[in-house]
Structure formats: C-alpha cells, structure tokens
Structure 1
Amino acid sequence: MEEKKNSNEVTSAEYISEREAKTVKELFKKYLKSYKEKDVSVTDKEWLEQLFKTELSEVTDEEAKQDAEEIVESIKVFNSNLQSVNEAATRGISKESWLADKMQEASVGMAVNEYGEVLQSMDNILYQKNMELADALQRSTDGNIKMSPNLDGNIAENMIAKTTELSGFSQGKNIKVEVRDVFTENSVDVRAINLDTGKYQNYQLKFGKDAKATIDLIERGNYNNQQIIVPSEQLEEVKAHFKAKGSSKTITNHIDAWGAKGKKFTKEDMKELQVAAQEDGIMPSMDYSHYQTKDLAMSIGKNAGAMALQAAAVTTGLNVASKIFNGEKVDADEIVEIAIKTGADTSVKVVTAGTLQVAIRKGIISFIPKATPAGVIAYIACVGIENVKILAKIASGELSMTKGLDQMGRVTTSMVGGLWGMAKGAALGAKLTGWIPVVGAPLAVVTGFIGGMVGYFGGSKIGDTIYNAGKKVASAARSVAKAAVNGLKSAGRAISTGISKVGSAIGRLFS
C-alpha cells in the first residue's frame, strides 16, 4: 500500500517538504542558542569549525576548518560587494556597470581568451537558469514553483526518447518519440507513436538519487497505462519492491517501442551528461576583444537582475516558512530582531550559513547537492537574510515596492560578483561548476524559505509582516520579471556553439 501523505504537506516536487523545513528550523534554533552562548573570545570561524566537527561525523578536522574559513570569507566578500554596489548606486552607477567593473578588476592576470571564455560560461549559465525560472513561473499563477529541481531528470527524458527514435530510424521504422513537457499532475513524460498505425505508448521516467527515492517518486503518483522507466542500477530493487506488493506495473530501464530500443542509463550517466552539457556546452571557441568582454559582463549583470526579479516572484519558500510557524507564537530573538531592523546581521548570516551547511551535508535539504561549495552556501544565506531585511523595509513603508525590487537586484548582483571571484581561472573546475545546480529556481526557493524562517525568529509579528509583504512583492515582481526576461530573449543569444558542444557530448555516449 502506498504511504499516505498529509494533504497539507508540501511535496518534494516543490523542493522542500514541511517535515524537512521543520528539521531545518530546529537546527537553526539550536545553533542560534549555541552561538549566543559562545565565549566572546571564540571567533565566528572557530565556532563554525566546531559546529561542523560536532554535527558532521564524516567531516575531517581539515575539511571543517576549510569550510568554516570559506563561509566566513564569503560572507565578508558578499557584505563588501553589497556595500560597494549600494555606494555606486548613490553615484548613479548601475548595478550592471558595477558588476562589469568588478569582474574586470578580478580578472587581473588572466589571459584575454580565458577571461572571455569564463565570462561566456557564466553568462550562458545565468541565461539558461533565467529561462528555466521563467518557464516555471509561466506554469504557476501563484509563484509556487512545481518543477523538477534536477536538470539530469530533464536530460534523462530527452536522452531516452531520442535514443529510441534513433534506434527506430536505423531500423527503418516510422516512429516518433516525443518528450511532452506537460507538467500537470500524473502527466505523461514521454510518448512513443507509431506513425503508420497511430498507436502510441506512454512512459513515466523516475530517476531518484537511489532506488528508495525512485520508489517513493513512483508511489506518489498514479501512472496507470504508463510504463515506468528507472535508472539501470536501480531496476532490480525497484521491480522487486512492486512485485512484493502485487503490483502489475511495467517497470524497465529503457523504451522498447515496436522493436526500437532506447539506450539504458544509470543515474550517474545522467549526472555526467548534465556536467558535460553545463561545462562543455557553454565553452565557445572564439577570440574576445575588450569590447566583447565588457559587453558579456554587462549581460551577466542583466541576467543577475532578471534572476532577482524572478526570485522575488517565487513564493514557494515563503509559503513553507509560513506553514511551519502557523499558529505558533514565537518570541522575538534579540539578535535576529536587531539584524532585521538595523542591518547588524553578520552573526545571523554565520548561524544561517552554518545551519544550511549541516542541513545540506546531511541531506535534510536534499535538492541542493551535498558537494556544493561552502562559499556558495554562505552566499545563499546572505541573499536570504538581505532580502528579508528589504521585505521588512517595504512592509514598514521605508522602501517603495520599486526601490525594494531594485535593492533585491543589487543583492543578487553582489552574490554573482562573489561567485565570479570563485570561478575566475577555474573554467573547468569545481569552483565554477559547483554553484550551477543552485542558481535559478533552487536559489529562489531556499532563499525565500531561509528569509521567511529567520523573519519568524524575529517574532511572530515580524514573520507575518514579512510573509505578507513577500506575497505583495511577488505579485508586483511578476510583470516586471516577465519584461526583463523578454528583454534578455530579444537581445539575441549566440548559443549555436553551445548546442554543438552539447551535441558532441551526447555523441560520445554512442561511441
């Protein structure tokens, strides 16, 4: 029998469940208490290092020290960047121009081609993530994203469909295998059609991180009249589970459509292809003049601004935060209340980053990869805290909606400036690719949740005020965000090189 879920539970299809969120809330409460009780002589770095040693048994002393240093340094860089971009704004300098200059400064010592390539990489990644966010928001009238957080799942659909179609073509079969891109509940992922007879077969792809996760995904839906496709290494365990329950589901690891057999893939295959697409697919092979790099840097700034607007339109995280505090009277924590009202927030950012680091490493926040660099996790914390401060100012009337959205854009731009510092000179390294899965919808959801949660720790009244302000801002942001995304699209994108690189990566799978 399928496990029954509480009807009020937010499923993992929306990134984070109420159960997971409550666990993060308790961790934050525990760590905030620990932080306030630490001796004044204990530095933030030392406190984080001890936290990781205590809470993460698999982490070595050296790793705990390194992660603590990276978090503290990243918070410092973020705060410095935000102060700088705000000062530039008072002088009439746009956040895009600020970021272009910041990136140029940080590129000292890099060859022109290397600098241009890394710029192009970041620009393409941010553009891609903006399009994913825009697509998600177009499917959602309330800003509550219901989309798969894992790009490899989307790749799996396309790869399994296309390899089946290629198999049919090589055999002279008149078939079509399409990825349907329909996102209603229990919708069909892939449909194989016999163009001679008009008959078709529907398929549902479930690629969880392991067999248990895949089984859970299958049991959440009603996929009658659909064959289930799962990763090859999980097939036997998944089949055995449903056979033991007396289920008649057809579960396999590939499509067999009238003799046309698609390729079988493991979860790791999909992850490798995801990396190949995101690394190799965005590396252009051209020369870059100073004008082109400046233009690229400005484009990155525009992408950052569009991402901030779209993130403001996403209410998933705020909704989850509100639900887990529903009906609970929360006494204001002084350190949090002061951070929200005065901006003296480094301590809260440290505690938030530490909480996120533990939650992600333990798999409590499962949609963010465990291998995400500690510095990236620190930036997520910083964006969440800064945005909740902005929402508080909008709620109090200190900031207008328009100015608040502009300030949120500066917050995201500050983050991108910090990511650039991590990425420069590492075009093919983990420091560039480590943050790719986090930006876009995942960033929007988790920063909304973190901001909302911290708001409630400032007191029930502050939390409710921030939640209500967030809903209003989301409504206002949608139309502005749509215009910004349309502007990105109309600017034109030279992505043919990227597509050919992805094609080459896909081609390698058939060699």
Structure 2
Amino acid sequence: MSDENILLVDEAFSPIIIEDECEKLKPIITDFIKGYSENKDKPVHEWLGQKMQEHLPERSPTEIKEITNEIIETIELDEKNRASLAEAIANGRSKESWFASETQKATSAMSSQEASQYLSSLDEALQNANESLYGTITTQAGMVSRNPRLDGFIAEQYHAQTFNMNAEASGSQYRAKVLESDGSGYTKNSVDLVIVDGEGKIVRKYQSKYYKDAKATEKAFEHGDYRGQRKLVPEGQDAEMTTKASSVIEAPDGTTSNLLAKSKAEQMRDEAQSGRWNDLNWNEYATKDIAIGIGKQAGYAALQGAAIGVGFDVAQKLWNGEKIEADEVVETAIVSGTDFGIKAAAAGALKVGVEKEIITVIPKGTPASTFANIAFVAIEDAKILGKMMSGELSAKEGIEKIEQTTVATVAGLAAMGKGAVIGAAVGVIFGPVGAAIGGFVGGTVGYMAGSKVGEIIIKGAQKLREVAVKVVKTVTTEVKDVISGVANGIKNIAGGIASLFGF
C-alpha cells in the first residue's frame, strides 16, 4: 500500500482513511443517495429500510428496522438541537450556555455526583479527540500534553463563584462572571473573567493562567497581549512573579474571591473526573461549569476537524475526470436545506460500508447512531463551506456555524449516550476518523449535486484547511508550554484562528 493512499494519525501512525476503501464505498453512497432521490416524497423509513435490506441481506427485517429507526431518530434529534441552538444564539445566548442548559436537562434525573462524573467523562472523550486531531494536523508525536483538562476551567469558575458568594454575603453590588464565546467566534487574547457593577458595567477584567509554578505561569502571559487585563494566578505565585499579579479577583469596594492554589485546582479536577470529591469543594464548582467547558471543547474539535481535508481530497480525486450528471433533487436539497433524506442515506451507506468491512478504521458493529451523527455533521459542514465560497457567509460566520453544528451534535450524544458508549462515539465522530470520512461524504454528496457544487465545496474545504493548519503550526510552541492547563491552549489556538480571519 503506497503512502499517498493513507492519512496517518498521531503518535501511533495508524491509517484513518484509505483511498482504496473510499473507492469501494463510493458506489454504495451513490446508490443510497439515488435511493433517496428516487423516493424523495416517500417516508424515509420506507426507502431507507429497503436499501439497507438490499445491501445487508443477511440481516433480519427486525434488525434492519432497528438500524433504520436509530438513524432516523438520531438525525431528528440533531436537527432539533441545531434549530434550538440557532434560536438561542439569535436571542443573544452563547453556544456554550445553550449546551450547558441542554446537558443539565439530560442529566436532571441523575444525582449531582452522577451528573458531574458523567459530564467529566464526556469532557475527557472530547479532549482525547482534540489531542488526536492535533496530532493528525501537525504529524508530530507527543506535541499535546495529555495532562488533565478541567483545572483551568475550574479555576476561572471557582474565583467567579466564590467572589459572588462573598459579594452576596456582604451586600456588595458587584458580581463576577466567566466570559464565554458571544456567538461571533473567539477573539485574540480574550478576557477570562470580569467584574461588573450593579448596572452591568464592566469595572475590571482578568486574564487567568494556572500553571505548575510562577515561572511557567509568567511565561504563559508572555504569549499574548493582555493590556487592560489584570493577571490572576494560583495562590502564592503572585509573590514570586516579576510582574504584578493577584491570586484573587477584587472589586473596587474590596470584595474578593477566595484563594485557590494550583494543587487544590488539580485536586478538584481529579475529584470531578473520578466521582470521589469533597462535598465542600464540589459545591463551589457547579455542574454547569463542566458543561460550559465541554461546549468549548466541542467548538475546538470542529476547528481542528476543519484542518483535516484529506477526505475532501480523496473525494475530488475519485470524482476527477468522471462525467457527472447532476442530480437536481440532491442539489435542491443541499441548497434549500431540506436534506434530511440525504443525511439518512449517507448514514445508511456508512453503516453498510463498515458492516461489509469495506471501511476498516471503524469497528464492525458500531451503532447506527454514530454514522447518523457523522453524516449530519458532514452534510451540514459541506453546505456551510459552499456558502462561505459563494459569499453568503463570511469566513468568521462559517467557522461559527461549523462550531455550532458540532456543539449541537455533542448535545444529542449527551442526551442519548451513557458511560463508555458516549466516549467511544465521541472518539469516532469528532476525532480524525470522523473528520476524514465526513469530508469524503461531504465531497461525494457535493459532486452528486453537480461538478460545480462539488468543486465549490472542495475549494471551501481547502481554503479553510490552509488557514486552520497555519494557525495550529504557529501555536505549536505555546501548546508545548501548556504543561498544566490544556484549556488555556485551546483558548489561545481558537483565538489564533480567529485573528487570522480578521476577527
């Protein structure tokens, strides 16, 4: 097998997409999409079930029905979440805040400890996916710290919440809050925490860095321009730094947050991930805050996934020179957004490809819902790339839409999955495998809508990839320095991508 036939991933250097396998999968996707096109006015379960049975004759009608229903139900949930998130953003909410609300609904029947442990496992799964994506983009082993990821978020939220408890107790008008993405993307050197007065006016801004010692923390501040922001550092490190810093946030009236040492932040992180925590510690750090952190992780996975364009490249290569008769039904569906059937067809084709062991990077027996989520993200992202190239969306708006698609899909997983199942699904859908196969699916569907549509989508993917790869490489040094806070690295990389797009 030639090297050009494979995309290699992270330190293990194992293949995530093989051109020969995609070539064998191509006619299956084409057949399923044509099945939709020829039956677009019929209920999806009718034609999809028939097509699944045709390709998997060894499966019983009951099994086929279960697979079909799982695909349909998953895409329905994804569509519902996408619409709900869009409405929330239109009303001024951030995608992270929406995600936190949705996950709280999903875990409402659990005890606080069960919910927190469940969300921590989801956070870990996304972090692992992000590390694999980063390894794929940079093709350098061991570049991303595998150290825990929650202590950076915990530190920010701890200071905000303890400040607010102290303000409430003393009757202070001031309140603190951790800033989230405002729906317009991340900004370079963005502020972590602010203190506002009774009218909501920002009176103080803080940048938080929680590294292993004062030297590492001070070095982290050298990587950005934080003028106008006060420096918040772990307890005790402020006295050891050569520049002015504080170990608490403080309002003009003297109200402060509580001190938090680096070791305690790590302890709270470990407690969160294991489910064995001190109640006093955990009461100071709400489940909602983990969910907000997960939302940020999901958005970052979307950005890194955009940098893996091999799937689009393979699609372009396999369709190049082929006489393409545009399918008007497919083109109309993609342009108008009425593409539920296309997503279902693509999901069915992927399930068949894996069950027939045509696609070998995903285990046989993987739930149909996983393929439904890959197809949903793939088709949504392909449409967004097309709109970016046509000018309907700016690069900034396109990136935000891609992030929203991923966040909405993760919310669906949080609502439906449990334990190890959700972790495995996240790894496939949002890791390098999902990004690569999703690119191939998106490119293939684009070409089925006509060579013009296909080429526009491919060019959009290439443009976005070039920018994303460039940014990841420029922050390689900083990521290597993120010894004890992956969250800080995520924020800075996202900010770098934003700055290259001019926002």
Q: Contact conserved, 1:309 with 1:478, CA < 8 A, in 2?
A: no
Separation in 2, partners of 1:390, 1:137: 21
Give the aligned partner of residue 422 of structure 1. Answer: 416
Mapped partners of 2:44, 2:91: distance in 1:
34
One-letter amino acid matched to 2:485 = G
How far the C-alpha of 1:481 sits from its partner, in A, is: 5.6
Q: 1:432 to 1:306 in 2, by over 3 A?
A: closer
Distance 1:138 1:51, change over 3 A: same
Percent identity among equivalent residues? 37
Change (3 A) 1:290 1:65: farther
CA RMSD, 1 decimal = 3.0
- Give the structure-1-normalised TM-score: 0.63
> Is 1:472 matched up with 2:463?
yes
Could you tell me which of 447, 465, 483 is aligned with 2:438? 447
CA contact (8 A) 2:45 2:72 kept: yes
Matched, 1:35 2:72: no
Relative to structure 1, the CA distance from residue 434 to residue 60 in structure 2 (aligned partners, 3 Å threshold; closer, same or farther) is farther
8 A contact 1:422–1:432 mirrored in 2: no
Residue 365 of structure 1 and its aligned partner are, at CA, apart by 1.4
Q: Does residue 339 of the first structure (1) align with residue 339 of the second (2)?
A: no
Q: Which residue of 1 aligns with 2:302?
A: 308
Matches within 5 A, 1:164-179: none
Report the alpha carbon displacement of residue 331 of structure 1 after superposing the two structures with TM.
1.8
Q: Contact 2:129–2:426 (CA<8 Å) still a contact in 1?
A: no
Residue identity in the other structure for 1:415: T
For residues 97 and 472 of structure 1, the distance between their equivalents in structure 2, rounded to whole angstroms, comes to 30
| Structure 1 position 7, deviation (Å) | 7.7
Cα gap change, 1:407/1:489 in structure 2, threshold over 3 Å: closer, same or farther? farther
Aligned equivalent of 2:215: none
* Divergent runs of 4+, >6 A: 482-485
Question: Counterparts of 1:4-403 in structure 2 under 5 Å?
Answer: 5=1, 9-10=5-6, 13-38=14-39, 40=41, 42-139=42-139, 283-286=274-277, 288-289=282-283, 291-403=285-397
Q: Does the Cα contact within 8 Å between 1:22 and 1:324 map onto a contact in 2?
A: yes
Cα distance in 2 between the residues matched to 1:488 and 1:365? 37
Q: Which residue of 1 aligns with 2:239?
A: none
Match of 2:485 among 488, 492, 497: 492
TM-score calculated relative to the size of structure 2: 0.64
Secondary structure of the residue aligned to 2:354 is helix
Aligned-partner SS, 1:81? helix
The one-character-per-residue Cα deviations of 1:49-71 (angstroms, maximum 9, x if unpaired) are 22222211342322211111111
What's the CA shift string for 1:376-416, capped at 9, x where partnerless?
A: 21010000000000010011011111110111000100110
In structure 2, the residue corresponding to 1:51 is in which secondary structure?
helix
Q: CA deviation at 1:476?
A: 1.9
Instruction: Note if contact 1:102-1:417 (Cα within 8 Å) is conserved in structure 2.
Output: yes
Residue equivalent to 1:237: none
Distance in structure 2 (CA, Å) of the matches to 1:88 and 1:14: 39
Shift of residue 491, structure 1, vs aligned partner: 7.8
Aligned-pair CA distance for 1:472: 0.6
Q: 1:136–1:32: structure 2 CA closer, same or farther, 3 Å change rule?
A: closer
Deviation per CA, 1:70-117: give whole Å up to 9, x if none.
Answer: 110111110111111112222221111110111111222111111101
Are the equivalent residues in 2 in contact too, given 1:18–1:323 (CA < 8 A)? no
Whether the 8 Å contact between 2:128 and 2:427 is mirrored in structure 1 is no
